[in-house]
């Protein structure tokens, strides 16, 4: 049975990956999108995103997944200065540079989160600090996105069982309180990576379909092939019939 071309899809969903540096965001992205893993730990400069197409029910969904790509330290310093070293950095930095950094921070966060309908908030199960910072990342995410965004808390590097610092039950209880999904993954062992992304995309599809249904119930019938706008500036949308996007 022939499969659809990469640009032939019903929905395009933007999903963002957030969390502290070194938790494995880039490897989760490469494992899901290309089934690749790199043992080299290096920060990506700029904005990185990858795509993968999956089928949910009878619909073809193209996931556009964005990685913070090395910007998380700047975001972390300017959004929360609880770390003593970060406070010293702020104190010793000229005001002009701080203002410039703050503008860059606002521009980065605005562009990064704009249009996102899903997010994976990632921590490293072997580093408790990365879990402690999840609350800050969640606040940042919710400050910049729609209230209906689908969120999954992800405990990555589950292969480091002998170094575990964050108990599964602790993270699960936190996820329940924050009303998010939860899963532990290992990009190295390819454990639960596909499952985590697929669960998020499936829930996004459910939420989006419900929005579209509610909109159609409260409006005149749309002409065949016309897009239903879920959010006016949303990158993630139902694809117009006959339109090809990359």
**What is d(CA 78, CA 229) in angstroms, rounded to the nearest whole number?**
33
pLDDT over 70, % of the chain: 65
**What is d(CA 71, CA 246) in angstroms, rounded to the nearest whole number?**
25
pLDDT in tens, 204-233: 999 998 877 777 666 555 454 444 444 545
pLDDT for position 39: 85
pLDDT in tens, 18-44: 999 999 999 999 999 999 998 876 655
The answer to whether the beta carbons of residues 115 and 125 sit under 8 Å apart is: no
Query: Does the pTM of the predicted model rise above 0.85?
Result: no
Q: Is the pLDDT of residue 70 over 70?
A: no
Mean pLDDT computed over 131-140 = 95
> Shortest CA distance to 146 belongs to which of 50, 25, 230, 205?
230
Set out the domains of the chain in order of their start, with CATH numbers.
11-238 (3.40.50.300)
**What is d(CA 164, CA 20) in angstroms, rounded to the nearest whole number?**
17
Query: What phi-psi label fits residue 192: left (phi over 0), alpha (psi between -120 and 50 degrees) or beta?
Result: left
């Amino acid at each position: 049975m022939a499969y659809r071309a990469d640009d032939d899809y019903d929905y395009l969903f933007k999903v963002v990956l957030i969390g502290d540096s070194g938790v494995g965001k880039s490897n989760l992205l490469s494992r899901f999108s290309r089934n690749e893993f790199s043992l080299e730990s290096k920060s990506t400069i700029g904005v990185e995103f990858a795509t993968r197409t999956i089928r949910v029910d009878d619909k073809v969904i193209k996931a556009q997944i964005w990685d913070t790509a090395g910007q998380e330290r700047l975001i972390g310093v300017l959004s929360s200065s609880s770390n003593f070293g970060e406070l010293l950095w702020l104190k010793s930095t000229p005001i002009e540079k701080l203002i410039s950094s703050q503008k860059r921070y606002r521009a980065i966060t605005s562009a990064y989160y704009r249009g996102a309908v899903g997010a994976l908030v990632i921590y490293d199960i072997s580093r408790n600090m990365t879990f402690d910072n999840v609350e800050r990342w969640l606040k940042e995410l919710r400050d910049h996105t729609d209230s209906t965004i689908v969120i999954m808390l992800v405990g990555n590097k589950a292969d480091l069982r002998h170094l575990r610092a964050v108990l599964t039950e602790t993270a699960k209880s936190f996820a329940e309180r924050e009303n998010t999904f939860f899963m532990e993954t290992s990009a190295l062992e390819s454990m639960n990576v596909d499952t985590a992304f697929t669960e998020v995309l499936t829930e996004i599809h459910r939420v989006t379909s419900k929005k579209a249904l509610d909109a159609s119930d409260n409006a005149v019938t749309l002409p065949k092939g016309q897009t239903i706008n879920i959010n006016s500036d949303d990158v993630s949308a139902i694809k117009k019939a006959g339109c090809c996007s990359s």
